[in-house]
Amino acid sequence: KAGVTQTPRYLIKTRGQQVTLSCSPISGHRSVSWYQQTPGQGLQFLFEYFSETQRNKGNFPGRFSGRQFSNSRSEMNVSTLELGDSALYLCASSLFLAGVTGELFFGEGSRLTVL
Amino acid sequence: QKEVEQNSGPLSVPEGAIASLNCTYSDRVSQSFFWYRQYSGKSPELIMSIYSNGDKEDGRFTAQLNKASQYVSLLIRDSQPSDSATYLCAVKGSNYKLTFGKGTLLTVNP
């Protein structure tokens, strides 16, 4: 059974640019959650999508957005990149809402560097 | 006040010792608690879940929960160098959001 796949794995952008990250969940999983991980702040919740609807949202500015497609694949977008957006972005899938099961399966992450 | 707090570490224990990892949470109505392990350069993976007060054992791992004290811990018996990783505590809150602590880095020395 294939795991959670995130692309791209690494990317370098400059301030002001935008970036789109992609996540393919485990087959059959309907929920996709996105997290930002940095050494100083740890794992911070961005948002969760279930059945193409955003079900939960963290405390991030509107520059961070996401969507989920009918096949459960998800994308997140960060516009007007800032230096502080440099981080590892992790996608996690679960059968149902993460807050229901608590069992998340994480992808390897997309490491974003903003110069 | 942070929603989920973990002892900052790093925690260093000799091989064969018991490693004790602690976590406190602020949401009194939280019902579900999880421990994830993250090896360096890898993504987190779920290793334990606990829902009721008391202890839950799985091999060398024991999760302990005290809802009155809003405290959850993870004990690793007979620690091995392969247990060296960051351990993340996660709590399911009343808003059905899963919140993670910042994690505790554990190093097991041979």
Q: Measuring CA to CA, which residue among B37, B98, B49, B34 is closest to residue A47?
A: B98
pLDDT tens digits for B30-62? Answer: 889 999 999 998 999 999 999 999 999 999 999
Cα A34 to Cα A38: distance, rounded to the nearest angstrom: 13
pLDDT over threshold 60, residue B1: no
pLDDT over threshold 90, residue B86: yes
Most confident of A38-52, B64-78, B90-104: B64-78
Residues of B with CB under 8 A from a CB of A: 32, 34, 36, 42-46, 49, 88, 90, 92-93, 95-103
> Does B93 sit within 8 Å of A45, measured CB to CB?
no
Q: Which residues on chain B are in Cβ contact (under 8 Å) with A105?
A: 46
Q: Which residue of A has its CA nearest to B5?
A: A42
Percent of chain B with pLDDT over 70: 98
Q: Which residues on chain A are in Cβ contact (under 8 Å) with B43?
A: 90, 106-109
Cα A48 to Cα B14: distance, rounded to the nearest angstrom: 39
Residue B76 backbone dihedrals phi, psi, to 5 degrees: -120, 110
> Does B99 sit within 8 Å of A42, measured CB to CB?
no
The whole-number pLDDT of residue B45 equals 95
B89-to-A7, A49, B26, B72 alpha-carbon distances in Å:
27, 22, 13, 8
Q: How confident is the model at residue B28 (pLDDT cuts 50, 70, 90)?
A: confident
**pLDDT mean over B7-28:** 92
Neighbours of B74 (CB within 10 A): 24
**pLDDT mean over B9-18:** 94
Pairing relationship of beta strands B11-14 and B104-109 according to DSSP bridges: parallel
- Hey, CA dihedral for B75, B53, B3, A32, is it positive or negative? positive
Q: What is the side-by-side order of every strand in the sheet holding A74-78?
A: A5-7, A19-24, A74-78, A64-68
Cα A22 to Cα A7: distance, rounded to the nearest angstrom: 5
Q: Which residue of A has its CA nearest to B44?
A: A106
Cβ–Cβ < 8 Å for B88, A43: yes
Cβ–Cβ < 8 Å for B86, B103: yes
**pLDDT mean over A73-91:** 97
Q: Assess whether the previous peptide bond of B10 is cis (omega < 30° from 0).
A: yes
Token pair in block for residue A16: 């002001």
The whole-number pLDDT of residue A98 equals 75
Cα B24 to Cα B99: distance, rounded to the nearest angstrom: 12
Neighbours of A7 (CB within 10 A): 13
Assess A20–B contact: CB distance below 8 Å, yes or no.
no
E strand map for chain A: 5-7, 10-13, 19-24, 31-38, 42-50, 53-57, 64-68, 74-78, 87-94, 105-106, 110-114
pLDDT tens digits for A24-62? Answer: 999 999 999 999 999 888 899 999 999 999 998 999 999
